[in-house]
Amino acid sequence: MSYFSEIPTITYEGPASDNPYAFKFYNPDEVIGGKTMKEHLRFGVAYWHTFTEDLSDPFGAGTAERPWNHLSGLDLAKARVEAAFEFFEKLGVPYFCFHDVDIAPEGETLRESNKNQDVIVGMIKEYMKDSDTKLLWNTVNNFSHPRFVHGAASANNADVFAYAAAKVKKGLEVGKELGAENYVFWGGREGYETLLNTDMKLELDNLGRFFHMAVDYAKEIGFNAQFLIEPKPKEPTSHQYDFDVASGYAFLQHYDLQDHFKFNIEANHATLAGHTFEHELRYARIHGMLGSVDANQGHPLLGWDTDEFPSDLYATTLAMYEILKNGGLGRGGLNFDAKVRRGSFEKEDLVLAHILGMDSFAAGLKVAQKLIDDGVMDNVVEDRYASFNEGIGKSIVDGTADLRSLEEYALGLDGIQTRSGRLESIKATINRYLLQAYAGE
């Protein structure tokens, strides 16, 4: 059965093309800075938003018109697998990602849920044999079902902790079975609503214990995926423990987990935390903790996780800048944790949205590489911090300065010269690079 037969295979036609079913900037084989675009970008499709999502919101029912909507149970799950692999091929996306409950229906019992999963995992494995698309990461949904109302690994109820642990155990087995490159932990309800009824210390300690158990089990079964924590400051709980990269990194270090994890950074989560996307990427990068990216964007006027497909070229450029400076994403990738708007309910929109996202990051990659090649920001930064390369600055950086030597130096200063940061000029330069990157093509 074909679900996207009317849609052509999407190929690169270049920026001058007005064919909506073509890439304008994503040219998979084009070499940028020594690697192909495909190798740099490692795009992934989020199964939940593209095949499971019905586009409901807190105020209204689902609107998604999907050719598999008439089915239910395992038949529905199987149809989605067929549709997914057809979709991956049409777009030429190298990866996909899923939660356990995205791919298979939950049963009455854990045993039954696992059985359903086995059926669909077996089917996915068969499809993967004939496909170039691999599993970027899998995870388990330990937040939707009412049993997780008070959290999963940070729940107040030990039975819930055990249930969540059992689901992760299965998730690790599934990841191994399908050759996942990474395994993600997003703490869906790992946080709290109010401190009035919360033992924060026990919850955090339990979260630490939970992650250690996962690390140990993965090792035991020989599942060598990269483990990723996905920070998010709030939603659904008012305070999520993995608030942002900085707090997540402190958590990992406190519980001696820092060598086993990196971060999966989502753009919309960064903005919810009051950061820019590039701030989170930078913070992770300079600590050697940048693992993977959930590529989306939030709405500037809305304070929640709207998970829009990325279209802001300024943001994708600055994100790709950090990724290139990181030396790439390694085993990670750019997973479109993004959904079409509720008003974009036709199945064609799924394809068009991915074209938008892939083109936006491809353009960002090209501009970012040019900015790096020309040293645009590097030159500014080098010049701006030049005082630390010699004299008193050098003594601070190399650790030979102390308060006494600095006082002596400061007492001898005859005024301090500070210089402009030239922010507006740098922004003007970036605009010029953005507009010129595709001039004449």
Can you give the binding site for ligand XLS, defined by CB under 6 A? 99, 139, 184, 186, 230, 232, 266, 294, 305, 337
Alpha helices in 296-402 (DSSP H): 313-325, 347-373, 376-384, 391-397
Asked if 254 is an active-site residue, the reply is: no
As measured in angstroms, the least distance from the Cβ of 184 to ligand XLS is 6
As measured in angstroms, the least distance from the Cβ of 186 to ligand XLS is 4
- Of the residues 40, 49, 100, 102, which is catalytic? 102
d(CA 364, CA 189): 33
As measured in angstroms, the least distance from the Cβ of 264 to Ni ion is 7
Nearest to 210 by CA among 262, 266, 142, 154: 154
| DSSP bridge pairs for 99 | 139
Which residue's CB comes closest to ligand XLS?
186
Nearest to 240 by CA among 207, 282, 214, 283: 207
Q: Specify the 3-state DSSP secondary structure of 393.
A: helix
- Of the residues 99, 269, 275, 354, which is catalytic? 99
- Decide whether 99 or 189 has the Cβ nearer to ligand XLS: 99
- Decide whether 25 or 148 has the Cβ nearer to ligand XLS: 148
Hunting for tokens 């229906």 — which residue is that?
A: 105
As measured in angstroms, the least distance from the Cβ of 252 to ligand XLS is 18
Decide which of Ni ion, ligand XLS, none touches 190; Cβ closer than 5 to 8 Å per partner kind.
none
- Decide whether 334 or 367 has the Cβ nearer to Ni ion: 334
As measured in angstroms, the least distance from the Cβ of 43 to Ni ion is 15
Decide which of ligand XLS, Ni ion, none touches 226; Cβ closer than 5 to 8 Å per partner kind.
none
- Decide whether 24 or 99 has the Cβ nearer to ligand XLS: 99
Chain length of the chain: 441
Asked if 337 is an active-site residue, the reply is: no
Amino acid identity for residue 411 in this structure: L
Q: How far, in whole angstroms, is CA 136 from its chain's centroid?
A: 11
d(CA 128, CA 175): 13
Q: Specify the 3-state DSSP secondary structure of 308.
A: strand
- Decide whether 28 or 332 has the Cβ nearer to Ni ion: 332
Decide which of ligand XLS, Ni ion, none touches 139; Cβ closer than 5 to 8 Å per partner kind.
ligand XLS
Nearest to 53 by CA among 101, 88, 115, 94: 101
Amino acid identity for residue 313 in this structure: L
Catalytic residue IDs: 99, 102
